[in-house]
Structure 1
Amino acid sequence: MMSEDIFSRLNKSKFRSSFRLKGKELEYFKFKGIDEILNHARDFINSRLAPADIPNDGKQTPFRNHPVFVAQHATATCCRGCLQKWHGIEKGKELTDEEVDYLIRALDVPRSSI
């Protein structure tokens, strides 16, 4: 499902490529480490993206205040609309375990942007 093409397209997006960890988010990332941050990501995805029906879709992921939120916007894994547009994951159905794992991998890839 994930391809280099997706990350190439994300890098060409002025909006997506503008997201960088800095300040408190970067300090938090360094303090917690990648494994703990990815555990947080799994929790956020399972609660905010995985359900089939999300009443506030498109607004469920803040832009700041946690490294995962910043990474979700950078990788277009922030809402079901972006998942459909950028990653081809349909809206209106619960995410499978494989799709959740895919999103975790997508969030783990662009660490060179930190």
Structure 2
Amino acid sequence: MTKEEWYKQLFERIGNSKFRSSFHLKQKDIDYINEKGLDTIRQHATATCCRECIRKWHKIQLGRELSQIQQEYLVDVIMTWIQREMERNKD
């Protein structure tokens, strides 16, 4: 499965969760991102909410330290969501 295919399925599944789909960037977040730039935001994005959610949504096993590849993947997922939110709020 390609990255694009996985992300499409991932965001569709998350979008079907009433709880998860309720989260959106606020205007102050958008302003901060616009001020700092996505490269700076990427360096500061650290994780998702907890390891149980990482296991559930991203299929990454509990009880092990995240590898560099897994960390980069999670940051990339977060950045993809932020970029989608930024596009959603363009007007």
Band of TM-score, shorter chain: 0.7 to 0.9
Match of 1:81 among 49, 52, 60: 52
> 2: CA distance between counterparts of 1:26 and 1:97?
28
Query: 1:1-114, aligned counterparts within 5 Å?
Result: 3=6, 4-41=8-45, 44-45=46-47, 77-110=48-81, 111-114=83-86
Count of residue correspondences: 81
> 1: CA distance between counterparts of 2:19 and 2:78?
17
> 1: CA distance between counterparts of 2:58 and 2:27?
29
Identity %: 42
**Structure whose CA Rg is larger:** 2
**Ranges of 4+ aligned residues in structure 1 off by more than 3 Å:** none
1:62-86 per-residue CA deviation (whole Å, 9 max, x = no partner) reads xxxxxxxxxxxxxxx2210100011
Larger % of helix: which? 2
1:10-40 per-residue CA deviation (whole Å, 9 max, x = no partner) reads 1111211111111322221111111100000
How far residue 96 of structure 1 moved from its aligned partner, in angstroms, is 0.2
When normalised by structure 2's length, the TM-score is 0.78
Give secondary structure in 1 for the equivalent of 2:44: helix
How far residue 112 of structure 1 moved from its aligned partner, in angstroms, is 2.1
Unaligned stretches of 5+ residues in structure 1:
46-76
Partner of 2:89: none
The CA RMSD over aligned residues, in Å, is: 1.6
